[in-house]
Structure formats: C-alpha cells, structure tokens
Amino acid sequence: MGTKNEGEKLTLFTNNLLINLLFLIIMCFVANISFGYFENRILIIRWLHCFLGVVAIIISILLGIQIHGIRFDLRQIPFIIVSLREGPFVSLILLSVTVLTRSFFGGHGTLYNLIVNGFITLFIIKLRPIFLKSNFLEKLLHCLSLSFFCSLSQLICLQIFDHQFLKSKELLINYLIIPQIGMILLLSISEGMKRYFLLKKEIFEAEKGKVITHLAASFGHEVRNPITATKGFLQLLLEKDITYEKRVLYAQTALDELKHSEMIISNYLTFAKPHVKKKKIFDFREEIEIVVETVFPMANMNNIVVNLISVSNISSKWIIDGERNLLHQCLLNILKNSIEAMPNGGVLKVELVRLERLIGVSISDTGIGMSNDQIKRLGESYFSSKEKGTGLGMMVVYSIIKAMKGSIKVESEIGKGTTFTLLFPETPFAQLNDVDSADIDNKSKANYGKRHYDLSTIESGEKKCR
C-alpha cells in the first residue's frame, strides 16, 4: 500500500511539474513576441515582462505540489530569467510577489523561500552586468547554476523534515532534471526569438539603406537622360549651316529637356514607386514621335539609323489614359538602352502597333542582344547587361508600365538584337473630329500636326533619319 501511495505521489509530482513547464513555455512565447512588437520601447517591454513574470510565478506556485510544508514548482525559472533580463527593480518586485504568494500556503518552506530567494536576488543583481555581456552558452551556464541551487536547496530542506521521502530516487531525479530542462528550453526560446527579432530589425535597416541607395542611383540615372538629350541639341546648335527654324526648334527642345530634369529633381520619389499623379488622355502616336525626335541627336552621334513605322490608317486617333511625363521617361530609357546596345552603329526601329483594344509601340535594335536568363532578370534593381549599368533604368520602366496598367514583352537573340513591345489599354475615341472636344492633354493637342512626321506621304508609314 505504501508503495502504491508513493507511486501515485511521484506521478502527481511529475505531472504537476510538466504542466507547469508547458505553461511557462507558452508564457515565454508571449513575452518574446511582445519584444518584437515593442522592440523600440524599452520601458514598455520591461514592465510587460515584469507583469508576465509575476503571472508566471503566481501560476507556477499554484500548480506546485506541497510535501511536508515544502512546495515544489518551477517558479525559479521565470524568476531567474526575468530578473537577469530586466534589472534590480524588477527583481525586487518578483521577490515580493514570490514571498507573498508562497506565504498563503504556509508550512516550513515559507521561511526557506524568503531566505533562498533573497540570496538569489542579491546574486542576480551582482551577476546581471556579466550576464548581459555573455554569449548564449555562458548565459545558459549562469541560469542553470542558479536553478540547480534552488532545486538542491529545496531537497536539502525536505531532507531535514522527511528522511524517508528522499529515498525515492525517481523523485530526486525528476526534481533535479525537469527544472534544468525547463531552464534550457525557455532560455533557448527566449534568446532565439530575441536574436530573430534583432536580425529582422537589422535586415529591415539594411533594406532601408538599400532603398535609399536605389533612390539616389535612380535619381542620377534618370536626370542623366534629359541632360544627355540637351547636350546633343546644344551641340547641334553649334553647327553653322542650320536654318533659323531648326535652331529655334533645337533650342526649344533643349529647354523642354531641362524642364524635364527640373521635374525629376523636384519629384525624385516618383522613381522609387512611380504612380500616375495627373491622369489625362492624350494621343499616344504624337508622344511617340516627340520622344523619337528627342533621341535623334544621340542616334546620329552613334551612327544609328532611326526608322519610325506607323500603320497605314493614320486618320484614326491613338488615345490612352495616363501621364505623358512618365511615358516619356519610360520610352527614353528603352530607346537609350537600344542605342547603347549598338556601339558600332545599326538600325533602331520604332513601330506603332494595335491589338484589339490595346495600342502600343515596338522598339527593335540590331545590337548585341541578351540571353534568356538576362531577359528574365530585367527590371531587377542592380541588374544590368551593360558593364557600367545599374539596372535601375529598366526597373523604372517596368514600374511605370505597371502604374499605367500596361504590359511589356521582351524578345532577344544574342548577336542579332532585342525587341521591346509595350502595350497599353486604349481609351475609346472614335472620331478624329472629337479632338477639340475631348479632354486631351493641352500640350499634346497643341503639338498635334506640327511636330510629327509627314507620314501621309509614305505608303508604309516609314520615316528614316540619320
């Protein structure tokens, strides 16, 4: 009968410790999730951990089992970990809660609890500066030493009042091992989650720095395009045999590009995440002709023939909804890349295309071309097929096309060239006579019929320029 009672007592003792340990693991997860949520609010974290430590200690004592006035539980685990983490003031609060809660159950262990935990609190206050500077293994050694001391002191105290009870080797082993296993588990979870959140913060800070770097590089890249165009037109102005009309046109175009640069400088955040601010409908074909005209000087300097090909039905309007400046920026990036892909000269073909309710443009070059792997990586930041490229130009292209609800298709073959096909949703605009009554961008409407090529004189709609 005595053996049966001893076995039941051992089972109850072990079960209570395991339930206590499960509860502490749950509390540990809650405490460390709060660290991730309030990582920059140290005071909030400290008081929250203090509160959770108090709750853990009270419930641990309630889940404990009392034998001859000595209460066995795992209260030392939250007491030690939280005290070492949060400092002397929190340690004193946890000590007070531990002593008061334990006193409700009475017995010989009340005085013992005050003496042992008071001693551990003083030791923790002295040990904490060393603990905070230690690595994980050293922290684990400190915590295990304190926990083992608590377990051993309780067993010694029980030995004084009940010599027979300690003859149970299973009980001795359970109470010396389970608290230490619990300490290893909880400290590992706590340190692991803390390290995870700190690493997450470092990655976030690194990403912010990377974004700033991208913005700066993209800013310089985008400003360089209109400045290059301006430089080309200013060089043309130095020629002596140009007419007054051409001189005025070149000067005006150079001024337009400088205004474009000014707009980029004042709105550089657009390049991080382009979005349509001033949405208007405009003639897509007109804007293509303006952009192609802009890159003529750069093409001439690189011995490149530019072919602009339109459809035979030139009387219909090509209306889309979006922002002209973003479209210009997107097209200039692609055209500039195409020109740079032909260092020894070549042919740059710009062809207007229409597919059902989609209108767009196909830009082809006879340059060096790209592999399939390079095509798949287009649009990624810092990826470029050029030796000194940043990849940010194409990143901006893809972002702008997405912002204008368009699509892009890239076909390329190494040594033969590359073709970019851009398509955008067409805005219904049935009659040419409706131009004046429609809400078309004023600048596009004013330039309509003035700055485009005389495509009507060519059956195929092709215009060549060197």
Please indicate, yes or no, whether residues 199 and 290 belong to a single structural domain of this protein: no
The residues near 26 (Cβ < 8 Å, ≥ 6 apart) are none
Q: Which domain holds residue 111?
A: 2-205
Please indicate, yes or no, whether residues 171 and 303 belong to a single structural domain of this protein: no
Number of domains in the chain: 2
Secondary structure class of 281 (helix, strand, coil):
strand
Distance (Å, whole) CA 128 – CA 408: 60
Query: At which of 205, 238, 261 does a domain end?
Result: 205
The helix or strand, by DSSP H or E, that contains position 421, with its residue range, turns out to be strand 417-425
Please check whether residue 45 lies inside any domain of the structure.
yes
76: closest CA among 54, 52, 57?
57
Please check whether residue 262 lies inside any domain of the structure.
no
The helix or strand, by DSSP H or E, that contains position 332, with its residue range, turns out to be helix 324-340
Please check whether residue 232 lies inside any domain of the structure.
no
Please indicate, yes or no, whether residues 330 and 200 belong to a single structural domain of this protein: no
> What is the full per-residue pLDDT of the chain (466 aa) written as tens digits?
445 455 566 677 677 778 888 888 888 888 777 766 666 677 787 888 888 889 988 888 888 777 666 677 888 888 888 888 888 888 899 888 888 888 888 766 677 778 888 888 888 888 888 888 888 888 889 888 888 888 777 777 766 655 455 556 666 666 778 888 888 888 888 888 888 887 877 777 776 667 667 667 666 766 777 888 888 888 888 887 888 888 888 888 888 888 777 766 655 555 555 555 667 788 888 888 888 888 888 888 888 998 888 655 555 677 888 888 888 888 988 998 899 889 888 999 999 888 878 888 999 999 988 888 888 878 765 555 655 455 567 777 888 888 888 899 999 999 899 999 999 988 875 444 444 444 444 444 444 333 333 322 223 344 444 4
Please check whether residue 282 lies inside any domain of the structure.
yes
Query: At which of 181, 205, 229 does a domain end?
Result: 205
Per-residue pLDDT, 429: 52
Please check whether residue 397 lies inside any domain of the structure.
yes
Please check whether residue 434 lies inside any domain of the structure.
yes
Exposure b/e, 125-134, CB count within 10 A at least 16 = b: eebbeebeee
Distance (Å, whole) CA 466 – CA 460: 19
Please check whether residue 241 lies inside any domain of the structure.
no
Per-residue pLDDT, 162: 55
Write the CATH number for 390.
3.30.565.10
Per-residue pLDDT, 41: 72
Secondary structure class of 241 (helix, strand, coil):
coil
Per-residue pLDDT, 177: 81
Please check whether residue 169 lies inside any domain of the structure.
yes
Please indicate, yes or no, whether residues 297 and 157 belong to a single structural domain of this protein: no
| Residue 448 per-residue DSSP state | T
Query: At which of 205, 232, 260 does a domain end?
Result: 205
Per-residue pLDDT, 410: 92
Please indicate, yes or no, whether residues 185 and 279 belong to a single structural domain of this protein: no
